[in-house]
Structure 1
């Protein structure tokens, strides 16, 4: 697929995949790493949007954003597989927190169809980006700028939703630990 990140050997990296959602200061670290990922992918999106072929940028954005969402979810420990490994009570809390913050893509199996629904919400901007391509040079620059801004905005929204869900789960975990330690 376009722009799919090469799979790294887990043994070669110093960090094993997270089994639980991140907590404490790790939430802010994960948030900053993910925002950096979003900025890099938004630049790629802008570069592809500058190509004067209609439709190529939308296909590229769809693929790139799908991969980005999966990586952000994993970074926060909120991918579907990671949430399914949680205690049933924490799993329910994770899905409730995702629904309450509007995290449409948090903890779900991310498909191109699901991302396409998200892109349809931003349809006017995508249409403007496509239409501007017919104007030579200035239109391509405008298309790239719109593509960058739209991709970054959608990516940042997803990162913030994941951070909120992780904070909610951390609060629930603290409450659980506090009630478990009360002597009877």
Structure 2
């Protein structure tokens, strides 16, 4: 369900930010293990799960949006498209997540090459993985926050307009 107040929205943002930090830490830990491809596969899985959870917490998963009435769905989809949201309201697929990870591709490539340098390389790989996951996760939280905030503000504005119309009669 979409949050109805800014206070509720702020609380969801705080919860999601904690979730991002936890998943970014997990990504960093996996990056330390010197097994080729393990960290990239783990990052894809972590990001799929993370973005799905964030969408659900904000009420913006594709399933949740599908259950809304036609007008609410239309308004939300307009907000999502006007803000250029990449993950909100969409079914999170492996392909979608891989596209996101490619956006931070230089970091991923660097992580893959440095992780085989003993100790320092593994620490660098963990830091890169943590940073990339945190960046992607936090930007998705911000994206969802902006969508919901715009929706709440639009609903409040509509209520004010209706009240003014009624009271002027």
The TM-score with structure 2 as length reference comes to 0.92
Once residues 4 and 139 of structure 2 are traced to their aligned partners in structure 1, the CA distance between those partners, rounded to angstroms, is 18
Displacement, 1:57?
Answer: 0.4
Aligned to 1:141: 123
Equivalent residues in 2 for 1:49-128 (5 A)?
49-128=31-110
Contact 1:21 1:78 in 2 (8 A): no
Q: Secondary structure in 2 aligned to 1:134?
A: coil
Contact 1:73 1:79 in 2 (8 A): yes
Q: Does 1:176 align with 2:139?
A: no
**Cα gap change, 1:22/1:59 in structure 2, threshold over 3 Å: closer, same or farther?**
farther
Q: Secondary structure in 1 aligned to 2:39?
A: helix
User: Unaligned 5+ residue runs, structure 2?
Assistant: none
Once residues 88 and 77 of structure 1 are traced to their aligned partners in structure 2, the CA distance between those partners, rounded to angstroms, is 16
**Cα gap change, 1:124/1:141 in structure 2, threshold over 3 Å: closer, same or farther?**
same
Aligned to 2:132: 150
Aligned to 2:8: 26
Aligned to 1:37: 19
Q: Secondary structure in 2 aligned to 1:54?
A: coil
Aligned length: 166
Once residues 74 and 162 of structure 1 are traced to their aligned partners in structure 2, the CA distance between those partners, rounded to angstroms, is 10
Q: From the two aligned structures, give the one with the greater helix fraction.
A: 2
User: Unaligned 5+ residue runs, structure 1?
Assistant: 1-18
Once residues 4 and 109 of structure 2 are traced to their aligned partners in structure 1, the CA distance between those partners, rounded to angstroms, is 37
Aligned to 1:129: 111
Displacement, 1:22?
Answer: 4.6
Contact 2:2 2:148 in 1 (8 A): no
Contact 2:80 2:88 in 1 (8 A): yes
